[in-house]
Structure 1
């Protein structure tokens, strides 16, 4: 009887033009998605059938004369649950679960109602990686300023949006102009008054988000801050010292052990005995 009711329901769908509605559902890998069977309040359901339409057409769950059934062999076997309100829950979601679904409802008066739902499954957004690059300052640049490039990247993820937030500047929910900047890169100009200013890179998709925060002035301070020498300053000090040491070594090598008044007297004493020996 159940098989006959199923075939009659499918034939009903083919012969009668049902009323159709559409909806979109979003889910996260490892989470769940609830496909809700919306219908008019006066619609008294007698029979229902849930199907997967794409990428493969499969029978997922049915409702006949008060009996719920979800044991049909499909890619959602063991992961599909039909609730008493005829909504279908899928869990845990997998990356390949995105697709189109439909539910066909028939009421006690013989009217048909079809709803099509599009499920989109997203990966959970990982924590982004933020890198700080310091621009080389020229002579014309104002002193004590630092031009910073911030680069943000979320590995192995697609369908994400990048935005930047300057921390500690939001007042009463009103965001200053330029607080948020779309894109994975941001350029900012910092001064000594920005020592404690932090920037957050926010990566998000429709179902999840994460962020990473950096304080750019710390990188400027490491490059050329008070009490810290830049690589140019190090070269200006080290190179002359190395040059003096090399010159001193070369001079000592040329002068030898007999340089100086006392050393000359010692060398003369060492050479004198050889001079007293007559040649044979």
Structure 2
């Protein structure tokens, strides 16, 4: 009976004038999407059929003689539910569910109404990763300032946009002149008065968003502390080496007088001491 109803609706669509409307529906992976079957005022539905048009045409659900049917074998089997108002709900959504759908309605007077819906399923936006890069300061750099590059990246995601905001101020936005690489890279100049200033990277798509917040001045301070530590480590290595070299130089200088002619004098002074025990022998 359901198959006969479907063929009947196909004939209605082929033989009689059809009014077509089109809407867009958005959803996220793991969520649900409600495809609304809109109709003109006074349009009393007698039969209805839902189809998936892409990537292949599949029959999803039908309504015939007050009977709802969704047991058709399709990729949405077990995930499609036809409601009493003839709207089709899909859940849970998968990343490959994006595509075009259509519903054909026929009223009791034989008029046909077709609506196409474009479903776009987006991935859930993950929390972005923010990294801080400290620019090397030169002699021309004003004192006590820190040039910082903030890099933002959301892994394994598409169809997303990046934006930045400066926390704790009335103007939460940032100047476009400091943004690079599709707004994924932000350049800021920090001073001692910016110790508590935080920046947030916001990653979003049409159905979800997430953010990560960081205080860049902490990285500037840590970079400076690491620089001082490296200087102390270098002194700890260099001072013992210098001491060893100094001791080696002193030893070489003390052995110097025992070379050449002065070596004989040293030998003469030692010889009498070795011959004294032989004095007085017969």
TM class by smaller structure: 0.7 to 0.9
Assess if the C-alpha contact under 8 Å between 1:169 and 1:176 holds in 2. no
Residue 178 of structure 1 is matched in structure 2 by 175
Cα deviation, 1:174-196, whole Å, max 9, x if unaligned, reads 65663895610000000100000
Residue 23 of structure 1 is matched in structure 2 by 23
Residue 130 of structure 1 is matched in structure 2 by 130
Pick closer, same or farther for the CA change 1:253–1:70 going to 2, 3 Å. Answer: farther
Find the aligned partners of 1:35 and 1:62 in 2 and give their Cα distance: 14
Find the aligned partners of 2:51 and 2:148 in 1 and give their Cα distance: 54
Assess if the C-alpha contact under 8 Å between 1:99 and 1:118 holds in 2. yes
Q: Could you say what the CA RMSD is over the residues aligned between the two structures, in angstroms?
A: 2.9
Structure 1: 5+ residue runs without aligned partners? 260-267
Task: State the SS of the aligned residue for 1:156.
Answer: coil
Structure 2: 5+ residue runs without aligned partners? 258-265, 277-282
Q: What displacement does 1:95 show?
A: 1.1
Q: What displacement does 1:247 show?
A: 2.0
Residue 71 of structure 2 is matched in structure 1 by 71
Find the aligned partners of 1:52 and 1:10 in 2 and give their Cα distance: 14
Cα deviation, 1:224-269, whole Å, max 9, x if unaligned, reads 26xx74467447745752552242242255367999xxxxxxxx8x
Residue 251 of structure 1 is matched in structure 2 by 249
Pick closer, same or farther for the CA change 1:3–1:244 going to 2, 3 Å. Answer: closer
TM-score, normalising length: structure 1: 0.85
Assess if the C-alpha contact under 8 Å between 2:164 and 2:174 holds in 1. no
Find the aligned partners of 1:256 and 1:77 in 2 and give their Cα distance: 98
Matches within 5 A, 1:89-168: 89-168=89-168
Find the aligned partners of 1:184 and 1:274 in 2 and give their Cα distance: 90
Find the aligned partners of 1:24 and 1:256 in 2 and give their Cα distance: 95
Find the aligned partners of 2:173 and 2:55 in 1 and give their Cα distance: 46
Larger Rg: 2
Counterpart among 225, 239, 242 of residue 241 in structure 1:
239
Cα deviation, 1:26-45, whole Å, max 9, x if unaligned, reads 11111111111111121111
Pick closer, same or farther for the CA change 1:256–1:12 going to 2, 3 Å. Answer: farther
Cα deviation, 1:3-60, whole Å, max 9, x if unaligned, reads 3222111111011221000011111111111111111121111100000000010000
Work out whether 1:210 is the aligned partner of 2:210: yes
Work out whether 1:169 is the aligned partner of 2:189: no
Counterpart among 251, 273, 276 of residue 274 in structure 2:
276
**How many matched pairs?**
264
Task: State the SS of the aligned residue for 1:54.
Answer: coil
TM-score, normalising length: structure 2: 0.84
Assess if the C-alpha contact under 8 Å between 1:163 and 1:202 holds in 2. yes
Residue 265 of structure 1 is matched in structure 2 by none
Task: State the SS of the aligned residue for 2:53.
Answer: strand
